[in-house]
Amino acid sequence: MDGSDDKEYGKSMKESSVWDLSLDLTKENWFVYEDFYGTSEEKYLVKYIQQLHPKLKNKYDDIYLVRSERAIRIYDFHTGQAFEPDFLLFMRKKEDGKFLNMQIFIEPKGEHLREHDEWKEDFLKEIHDNAVVIFETQVNHFKIWGMPFYTNKDEISFDRAMNKEFGVSGWE
């Protein structure tokens, strides 16, 4: 358990007891797994990306949301403290004869954890400005982004950041 009393944690999205969290991910080609068993906050993020996917598809050729499952660890620029963002959103499009590859770190966060993990959100916001591109090739560009925390109760703030950075909004 994640420390909260989240009734959705460990339940399939297909069989969610909350109607607006129910989703058969076997029918979605942008989510890399066939089902998801996370917290309600994480499931709301997946539903948000589902809603946004058609608009993203108009701008990007490939879109994949991956639940990290502790596979990726990133380190704060100031303290070196590590954390593992819950999701990565990969997007790719052809631009000026090259492929632009985007890697976006996303962390859904319940309200009860926001204050304790504020340093993580600050770090995610810094990634865009401070991350150094280690390599580019003649046919590829790579960009790394960190997004502010996703919180269902304040989804509009996350949506504003998506609109600012990628020109898509789920609230239009």
Segment 99-127, tens digit of pLDDT: 888 999 999 998 888 888 999 999 998 98
On the question of pLDDT at 2 being above 70, the answer is no
4 within some domain: no
65 within some domain: yes
Is beta strand 98-106 parallel, antiparallel or unpaired with respect to 87-95? antiparallel
Domain span at 61: 19-166
Cβ–Cβ contacts within 10 Å for residue 116, how many?
A: 9
Q: What is the pLDDT of residue 18?
A: 86
Distance CA(102)–CA(37), nearest Å, equals 26
34 within some domain: yes
11 within some domain: no
More reliable by pLDDT, 142 or 104: 104
85 within some domain: yes
Query: Which burial class, exposed, middle or buried, applies to 75 when counting CB atoms under 10 A from its CB (0-12, 13-18, 19+)?
Result: exposed
On the question of pLDDT at 55 being above 70, the answer is yes
On the question of pLDDT at 134 being above 70, the answer is no
The answer for 69, left when phi > 0, alpha when psi is -120 to 50, beta otherwise, is left
2 within some domain: no
Q: What is the pLDDT of residue 141?
A: 81
Q: What is the pLDDT of residue 1?
A: 40
Pick from 49, 69, 14: nearest CA to 147? 49
pTM, rounded to two decimals: 0.88
Considering 5-9, 51-55, 100-104, the range whose residues carry the highest mean pLDDT is 51-55
More reliable by pLDDT, 89 or 130: 89
